[in-house]
């Protein structure tokens, strides 16, 4: 009898089509006669807050130790063991989040989106490596960044690549940086996190696609050392800029370069610059002419870049879920699904926002992308222009020196220099 | 002579470098300061709002962990202890036995226990649940809605950007403070703690 009633009740409800009506007390909570006690709802606690603070301490300690090893001890061995530590602690133990590379998106989001309040630990992860870089060069890349350290361990058989190619490929991180900032500023997506190739290894869990990309990069990394660092990493692009003005920086020779050329090919990242001697210096009129030409080309590149960028703003904006939803609703495309209503549309209908509101919101996001497209394009144009400058202008240089921007402070080259340090014993 | 010229050149270079260095330093401190003012010392974690969730099933597939760390949580306080549980049985179930073909849950993660006539208690085995939300849908449609999906924070690795959040069609994911990391619909965890 009871069962029949229940089934009838069920049928009535089905016919009423009350779906998605959540948390309606249809059936009263029973009073148990047998003295049964209702178990509590389990709510497991998240990882303790203290551990996040500990991360910042470990970061500071690791940065200090690596900087000391690089600048004072000049010890490759020490830096190597610090990279192993970084892979184990920041990589496998902490499973890669939050890392400094990704934190730049949180910073951007916090600057542009007033609703997002950023944890202090994330600010620390963004600022501290930059500060250390400003003083000591890219010591963060040398042995603290888990992504870099993982690749560094795989750099077994590095081969040199042409320096112009190195410079051209070096543009990619800046484009990536610009895109990541654009998408984070519009609250669209964290692309760096989405396409982090190594996080899957640290968590021992990833989609097959990302796993393959990660494995490919590591495999390439055996021959072309640290490909992600050199040709992709957007945070590396920032560090590159900051490192150029670093107060101290690793030098190849402990005292004075004797031009023995032993270190010439020792850098796996092609970061050692050869001497440019006075006799290579060109005549003044040519230099002036080039200066003028570049002075015209760079602004043109910036404007053309900005224009092209703004033309693509709709393609850029479609990644934003709100814009996508508005687009699908407007064209009645139902996310390409034919059988049933797409989940996004079901959810939109049940959420109770009107279409007009959504379109207005999407419109303002597209506008942000229009301005963002100008800025991004202009920025890319500028990077192209400056790369052109660095390819065509020679700076006078007497000794073999690491390029302060691209040198990862790994200390490999130091062991190739035959000059002995001045010992304090004498 | 040449030496002197070089020295002068180097000095100028040093001077420019120092200028840049100081301005970058000031810039960094500035950014840090601005952010510090609006930041919270609190840590945040991801959680989904069951009121927005439409049980699309992506929670089970989009999480970076396999199986998903999103689990079905049972808010016993809201449960009617029904014999005919909309979250346990398939709508077309012939008889109300615990046979697998009658169960809605694809992994048989729900245990049905007799309490007293006519009440049954339902427990979720966390290890088996994959967060697909089928039971949640059934319970919400036919019952009290006491089964709800939540991110289990003991398992969640707290990605900087939750992979489900960006796939969720209902925009149900949000960052919540770490000290109160669960959102239940129609039930407050805090009130019932004492
Ligand atoms: S370049 Fe990027 S990925 Fe490589 S070590 Fe530096 S911060 Fe890490
Ligand atoms: S310390 Fe710098 S220049 Fe020397 S090998 Fe390492 S990356 Fe290359
Ligand atoms: S992805 Fe969103 S709508 Fe789908 S089951 Fe998860 S919370 Fe619910
Ligand atoms: S934060 Fe990461 S682990 Fe947690 S639910 Fe989201 S995707 Fe899964």
| CA–CA dist A322, A362 (Å, integer) | 6
Which of ligand 3's atoms lies nearest the C-alpha of B170? 3
Q: What is the ipTM of this complex?
A: 0.82
| CA–CA dist A150, A141 (Å, integer) | 11
Residues in chain B with CB shorter than 8 Å from the CB of A95 are 157
- The tokens for A377 are 């394009």
Residues A11 and A89 in one domain: yes
- The tokens for A38 are 């209702």
pLDDT above 50 for A120:
yes
| CA–CA dist A324, B37 (Å, integer) | 34
Task: Give the ranges where A87-119 is alpha helix by DSSP (H).
Answer: 100-112
Q: Is residue A37 part of a domain?
A: no
Residues B36 and B49 in one domain: no
Mean pLDDT of A180-197: 93
Q: Could you tell me the CA-to-CA distances from A203 to A96, A308, B79 in Å, in that order?
A: 8, 39, 36
Quote the number of domains for chain B: 2
Mean pLDDT of A236-241: 95
Mean pLDDT of A253-259: 89
Residues B27 and B98 in one domain: no
Q: Is residue B3 part of a domain?
A: no
**What lines the ligand 1 site, CB under 6 Å?**
A 101, 141, 145, 147-148, 228-229, 233, 235-236, 239
Say if A319 is an interface residue toward chain B (CB within 8 Å). no
| CA–CA dist B173, B131 (Å, integer) | 15
- Expressed as residue numbers, the domain containing A239 is 2-24+52-275+403-416
The A residues from 103 to 132 touching B (CB cutoff 8 Å) are 103, 105-107, 110-111, 114, 116-121, 123, 127, 130-131
Q: Are β-strands A401-402 and B147-151 bridged in parallel, bridged antiparallel, or unpaired?
A: unpaired
Q: Is residue B2 part of a domain?
A: no
Mutation for testing the A interface, residue in B18, B161, B164, B179 having most A CBs under 10 Å: B161
Mean pLDDT of A170-197: 94
Half-sphere exposure at residue B69, Cβ-oriented, CA atoms within 13 angstroms: 23
What is the reported pLDDT for B28?
92
Is residue A98 reached through a cis peptide bond, with omega within 30 degrees of 0 on the bond before it?
Answer: yes
Residues A353 and A407 in one domain: no
Confidence of residue A227 (pLDDT cuts 50, 70, 90): very high
Report percent pLDDT > 70 for chain B: 90
Residues in chain A with CB shorter than 8 Å from the CB of B153 are 44-47
Q: Is residue A269 part of a domain?
A: yes
- What secondary structure letter does DSSP report for A276? B
Mean pLDDT of A334-341: 85
What is the reported pLDDT for B109?
92
- Expressed as residue numbers, the domain containing B19 is 10-40
| CA–CA dist A101, A192 (Å, integer) | 8
Residues A221 and A80 in one domain: yes
| pLDDT tens readout for residues B144-155 | 889 999 999 988
What is the reported pLDDT for B6?
54
Residues A262 and A146 in one domain: yes
pLDDT above 90 for A303:
yes
Q: Is residue A41 part of a domain?
A: no
**Total residue length of chain A:** 426
What is the reported pLDDT for A58?
94
| pLDDT tens readout for residues B37-85 | 877 777 889 999 999 999 999 999 999 888 899 999 999 888 888 888 8
| CA–CA dist B194, B192 (Å, integer) | 6
| CA–CA dist A153, A162 (Å, integer) | 23
Residues in chain A with CB shorter than 8 Å from the CB of B84 are 3, 6-7, 10
Residues A231 and A188 in one domain: yes
- Three-state DSSP string of chain B: CHHHHHHHHHHHHHHHHHHHHHHHHHHHHHHHHHHHHHCECCCEEEEECCCCCCCCCHHHHHCCCCCCCEEEEECHHHCCCCCCCCCCECCCCCCCCCCHHHECCCCCCEEEEEEECCEEEEEECCCCCCCCCHHHHHHHHHCCCCEEEEECCCCCCCCCCCCCCCCCCCCCEEEEECCCCCCCCCCCCCCCCC
| pLDDT tens readout for residues A11-45 | 444 444 444 445 566 777 777 777 778 888 888 88
pLDDT above 60 for A280:
no
């Amino acid at each position: 009898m009871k069962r029949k009633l229940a089934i009838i009740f069920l049928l009535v409800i089905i016919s009423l089509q009350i779906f998605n009506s959540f948390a309606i007390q249809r059936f009263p909570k029973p009073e148990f006669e047998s003295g049964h006690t209702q178990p509590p709802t389990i709510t497991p606690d998240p990882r303790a807050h203290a551990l996040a603070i500990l991360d910042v301490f470990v970061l500071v300690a690791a940065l200090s130790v690596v900087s000391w090893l690089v600048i004072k001890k000049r010890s490759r061995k020490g830096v190597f063991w610090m990279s192993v530590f970084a892979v184990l602690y920041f990589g496998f133990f902490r499973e890669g989040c939050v890392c400094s590379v990704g934190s730049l998106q949180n910073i951007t989001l916090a600057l542009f989106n007033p609703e997002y309040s950023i944890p202090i630990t994330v600010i620390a992860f963004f600022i501290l490596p930059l500060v250390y870089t400003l003083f000591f060069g890219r010591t963060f890349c040398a042995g603290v960044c888990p992504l870099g350290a993982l690749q560094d361990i795989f750099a077994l058989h590095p081969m040199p690549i042409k320096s112009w190619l190195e410079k051209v490929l070096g543009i990619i991180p800046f484009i990536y940086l610009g895109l990541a900032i654009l998408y984070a500023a519009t609250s669209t997506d964290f692309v760096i996190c989405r396409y982090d190739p190594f996080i899957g290894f640290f968590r021992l869990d990833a989609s097959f696609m990302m796993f393959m990309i990660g494995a490919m990069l590591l495999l390439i990394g055996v021959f072309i050392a640290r490909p992600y660092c050199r040709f992709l990493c957007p945070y590396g692009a920032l560090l590159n800029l900051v490192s150029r003005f670093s107060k101290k920086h690793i030098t190849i020779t402990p005292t004075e370069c004797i031009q023995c050329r032993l270190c010439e090919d020792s850098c796996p990242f092609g970061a050692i610059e050869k001497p440019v001697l006075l006799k290579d210096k060109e005549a003044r009129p040519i230099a002036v002419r080039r200066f003028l030409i570049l002075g015209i080309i760079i602004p043109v590149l910036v404007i053309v870049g900005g224009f092209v960028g703004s033309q693509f703003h709709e393609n850029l904006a479609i990644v934003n879920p709100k814009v996508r939803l508005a687009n699908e609703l407007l064209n009645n495309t139902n996310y390409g699904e034919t059988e049933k209503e797409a989940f996004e549309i079901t959810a939109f209908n049940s959420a109770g926002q009107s279409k007009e509101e959504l379109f207005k919101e999407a419109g303002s996001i597209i506008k942000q992308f229009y301005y963002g497209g100008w800025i991004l394009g202009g920025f890319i144009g500028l990077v192209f222009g400056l790369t052109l400058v660095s390819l065509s202008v020679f700076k006078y240089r007497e000794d073999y020196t690491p390029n302060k921007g691209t040198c990862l402070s790994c200390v490999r080259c130091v062991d190739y220099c035959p000059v002995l340090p001045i010992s304090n014993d004498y | 002579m040449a030496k002197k010229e070089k020295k002068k050149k180097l000095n100028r270079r040093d001077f420019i470098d120092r200028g840049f260095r100081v301005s970058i330093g000031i810039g960094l401190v500035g950014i840090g300061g601005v952010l510090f003012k609006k930041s919270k010392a609190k840590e945040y974690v991801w959680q989904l709002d069951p009121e927005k969730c439409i049980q699309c099933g992506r929670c089970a597939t989009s999480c970076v962990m396999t199986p998903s760390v999103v689990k079905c949580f049972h808010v016993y306080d809201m449960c009617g202890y029904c014999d005919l549980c909309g979250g346990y049985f398939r709508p077309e179930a012939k008889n109300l036995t615990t046979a697998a073909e009658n169960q809605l849950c694809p992994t048989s993660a729900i245990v049905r226990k007799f309490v007293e006539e006519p009440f049954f208690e339902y427990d979720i085995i966390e290890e088996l649940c994959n967060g697909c939300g089928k039971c949640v849908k059934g319970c919400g449609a036919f019952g009290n809605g006491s089964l709800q999906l939540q991110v289990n924070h003991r398992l969640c690795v707290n990605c900087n950007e939750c992979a489900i959040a960006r796939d969720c069609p209902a925009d149900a994911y949000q960052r919540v403070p770490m000290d109160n990391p669960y959102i239940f619909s129609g039930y407050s965890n805090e009130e019932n703690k004492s």
